[in-house]
Structure 1
């Protein structure tokens, strides 16, 4: 959630909107990648545990 804070700070500090949008979009993409890896790992662990 750190990235969302930095995007909000950018708005507060008067950085132009497009810059803040780029920051938050990258953060969302990173979150999706990380959560995808975590989900695959959990699925694998569960599959092995129940096999």
Structure 2
């Protein structure tokens, strides 16, 4: 267990924001089921100026 309530809250926050949200699959209307990081990477590619 955790020593303090703040330590437990910090660990839960870290898990949700760092581990869960980066690996969960979500449905994107154009790309299908991909992670949020993959969505951002694909959107960045679409908005990069053509050389």
Query: Aligning the two structures, in what range does the TM-score lie when normalised by the shorter sequence?
Result: 0.3 to 0.5
TM-score, reference length from structure 1:
0.43
Question: More strand by proportion, 1 or 2?
Answer: 2
Q: Which structure is higher in RCO with an 8 Å CA cutoff and minimum separation 6? A: 1
